[in-house]
Homo-oligomer: A and B are copies of this chain.
Amino acid sequence: MDMKTKNPKLKDQPLSPDLLRKMNAYWRAANYLSVGQIYLYDNPLLKKPLKLEHVKPRLLGHWGTTPGLNFIYVHLNRIIKQYDLNMLYVTGPGHGGPGLVANTYLEGTYSELYPNISQDERGLKRLFTQFSFPGGIPSHVAAETPGSINEGGELGYSLMHAYGAAFDNPDLLVACVVGDGEAETGALATSWHSNKFLNPVHDGAVLPILHLNGYKIASPTILARIGREELEALFRGYGYKPYFVEGDDPEKVHPLMAATLDRIVEEIRQIQSVARRQGFKQRPLWPMIILRTPKGWTGPKEVDGLKTEGSWRSHQVPLANLAENPAHLRLLEKWMKSYRPQELFDASGKFVAELAELAPQGDRRMGANPHANGGLLLRDLDLPDFRDYAVKVPGPGSVKAEATRVTGAFLRDVMRQNMTARNFRVFGPDETASNRLADIFEVTDRAFMGEIQKSDTQLAPDGRVMEVLSEHLCQGWLEGYLLTGRHGFFSCYEAFIHVVDSMFNQHAKWLKVTRRISWRRPIASLTYLLTSHVWRQDHNGFSHQDPGFIDHVVNKKADVIRVYLPPDANTLLSVTDHCLRSRHYVNVIVAGKQPELQWLDMDAAIKHCTAGLGVWKWASNDEGGDPDVVMACAGDVPTLETLAAVEMLRQQLPELKIRVINVVNLMALQPQSEHPNGLSDKDFDVLFTTDKPIIFAYHGYPWLIHRLTYRRTNHDNLHVRGYKEEGTTTTPFDMAVLNDIDRFHLAKDVIDRVPSLGSRAAYLTQVIRDKLIEHQQYIRQHGEDMPEIRHWRWGVKKMRKKASARQ
């Protein structure tokens, strides 16, 4: 590896003086339109002297990063045309919204998608007015922005989105601008390692452009202040070959940028052609650019005597309070005129032809690249029939299976059947095997471009299982993959999915907004399988126990959110198939990986999942009449404990009429007015009764069930058990006991709430108390659960024996 700090020698200058002049003019146009969007309400071509009435009353937008983004855009346009590149532009500093809008306007995409923003003075006025204005468009790069797959909201996810887009798109070159502020985030700091997962044979390329403009909102950035030697070492250490492009004189920086990009395109093509000819031999040293230009470049040098260009003062609006400060108004006019708009737009307001022709054509325009509107490219998965993977269930509770392992076989064949289409990947933080999905490794491996040693297994450069110990990377890659029109599946320990809470937020918001944008096409859903869940983190203990991701998810818009709690293997299969076919949702599936009793055969499972929730008649004894109590459950462990409690109650108190309801689709509990999957009030009342006690054993935090059902008629009689933050390293059953959701507590809950059960109930209460003490003593002596606890019916028989012994 070349550790010298000089740039490799660049080719001869590729820009003729004429091209240099035109590119700079194009850049001026983009800058002019950017400033115009931030400031102007009228007089878009400054044909009249600028007056206060032409300026927006509220100045909302970010100038600082924008000229750099524009500079990069015009240079990428050149190489797209020169090399006929298929290129995507991912904007890390997403608050530079005006720049991306300006460029997609100049290249024509914007007016095609939004015809009212026409290529004339009227269109320019509208372009300016709509920006960051009520009824208009957001101030950041957003779903509304053509060519964008990266919301300019929370920072840190650009580079992982870029890599996600490049996977399995061998023809694609994803340019990703990373801001030096964003670079301080954890998510971005680990994203650089994505190059260990990108295969030059069948993936595209990512060109990271670290844009050092030196400042955040109020402070310098770390990477701008560590010295060039450390900076270069850092990126060499990350496995890149950094090219520096630095300066503040456009006349000098343009040629340097152009020559660097030529060199880089050559290198990328070389890397790809060697790899594609010879097959993958070793991880290449991908090039990247470190671009150091002033923040607020070409903006006011000083405002009120304070340095502005090249300072954090350029971050948002360099000139403010124009109404109170006429000098600022004049400064704004001077600034805007410095771009010489009359040379850039003709009298009608149309961008002059000699500049417009610098932009690529058709789909090569970065605002029009179909990969940025992935739904356009989306093809259905070729799915095997999930029923073929069914566990044979001769009767409820008669066999055991590991639910996720069963689904693993299904996913293996999903992978197999879409190997040639190359549009399906599985993601997870080093847990695919731990989560019992290892069958997938029969048909593919973990992707890895690092050194592979002989003793390694299931690890290969062309693997399609993406494992890295970073939930951020898993989520970000998957988002990038989905947003560009492919499919994926993310399995994760339930507790640690909270690591990406905020990434989920941004993605859910993206889905909500894009549903309303006519030119955006639906993409494949983002499906989580949360396993190693709270009830079976008895071995890892308290730190690994948190079922709250569901709570977090259901705060987002109902029309993009689905939550499933399949109680066994066949229901998990059915739900998984459904999720892989769905579009434009976030699906959360929670299911255990341990060997557990199975309840439903495949036909029953499909019926149950289709309904979302329903009475389990075989477990109930209320046929033909009203029940005395409804026992509801959602989640595999709560279902087992509920059924065991029901068995106990039915045998001990045969006169008690119990209705058992299992909930797979959690959203069915909500009123229809709140969620499209919601059960009608009438149906809900029929199922849950209007006046009988409901004992609800729920997988997660109990109050969520109250939140979902507080408007239902019988809510006052609802009593929910769930996880209440009690747990440690103990036995699986003890986890249930610690949170009062075990069969004994549930049975006791029924006894306490159904009046006049008589002396047998009092006796059963005593037995339950004894059993709980016995349990405590047993586990503290033996370190594992009483063997009988593993069977749902055991407790009853044993108790009956004991009871008869006492009588």
**Residues of A participating in the B interface, judged by any CB pair closer than 8 Å:** 1, 3, 41, 56-58, 60, 95, 132-140, 142, 151-156, 181-182, 184-191, 193, 196, 216-222, 225-227, 229-239, 307, 311, 430-434, 446, 448, 450-453, 455-456, 458-459, 467-470, 472-473, 495-496, 498-499, 501-502, 505-506, 509, 512-513, 539-544, 546, 548, 551-552, 555-557, 701, 703-704, 706-707, 710, 715, 725, 728-731, 734, 779-780, 782-784
Contact = CB atoms under 8 A, between A and B. Distances in A.
Contacts of A703: 707, 710
Contacts of A432: 218
A152 B542 CA distance: 10
Contact of A184 (B3, B193, B543): B193
B544 A555 contact: no
Contact of A450 (B188, B222, B542, B548): B222
A181 B430 contact: yes
A543 B498 contact: no
B509 A140 contact: no
A556 B725 contact: yes
A182 B239 CA distance: 19
Given A139-B541, A543-B509, A225 B134 contact: no
A738 to B, nearest CB: 10
Contact of A234 (B135, B185, B237, B498): B237
Given A139-B540, A230-B239, 16 more contacts: A1-B230, A58-B539, A133-B783, A134-B731, A135-B779, A136-B729, A139-B729, A153-B542, A184-B470, A186-B189, A188-B190, A189-B189, A193-B222, A219-B446, A237-B237, A706-B710
A239 B226 contact: yes
Which 9 residue pairs across A and B have the least CB separation, nearest first? A153-B543, A234-B237, A186-B186, A225-B450, A233-B237, A498-B502, A189-B190, A189-B189, A184-B469
A499 B430 CA distance: 21
Nearest to A548: B555
A448 B470 CA distance: 28
Contacts of A539: 58, 60, 132, 139
B542 A783 contact: no
Contacts of A216: 430, 469
B495 A498 contact: no
A706 B134 CA distance: 32
Given A233-B237, A555-B551, A707-B707, A221 B135 contact: no
A741 B753 CA distance: 39
23 contacts: A1-B230, A3-B3, A3-B233, A56-B783, A133-B729, A136-B729, A138-B541, A138-B543, A138-B728, A139-B540, A142-B543, A181-B430, A184-B193, A188-B190, A196-B225, A216-B430, A219-B448, A220-B448, A222-B450, A231-B237, A499-B501, A499-B502, A706-B707
Given A132-B729, A140-B543, A184 B57 contact: no
B220 A134 contact: no
A557 B729 contact: no
A60 B189 contact: no
B220 A456 contact: yes
A369 B203 CA distance: 52
Contacts of A501: 498-499, 501-502, 552
Most B CB within 10 A of own CB, among A182, A307, A551: A551
Nearest to A541: B138
A238 B234 contact: yes
Contacts of A452: 220, 225
A624 to B, nearest CB: 32
Contacts of A58: 539, 731, 783-784
B139 A430 contact: no
Given A184-B470, A236-B233, A701-B555, A196 B226 contact: yes
A60 B540 CA distance: 8
A708 to B, nearest CB: 8
Contact of A142 (B234, B502, B541): B541
B182 A469 contact: yes
A543 B152 contact: yes
Given A136-B729, A551-B552, A430 B189 contact: no
A542 B229 contact: no
A134 B701 contact: no
A238 B227 CA distance: 11
Contacts of A472: 185-186
Given A139-B729, A499-B154, A543-B152, A237 B239 contact: no
Contacts of A237: 230-238
Contacts of A551: 551-552, 555
B185 A470 contact: yes
A557 B134 CA distance: 42
Nearest to A449: B225
Contact of A218 (B156, B430, B779): B430
A538 to B, nearest CB: 8
Nearest to A61: B539
A455 B307 contact: yes
Nearest to A557: B725
Given A3-B233, A234-B234, A470-B184, A430 B706 contact: no
Contacts of A552: 501, 548, 551-552
Contacts of A780: 134-135
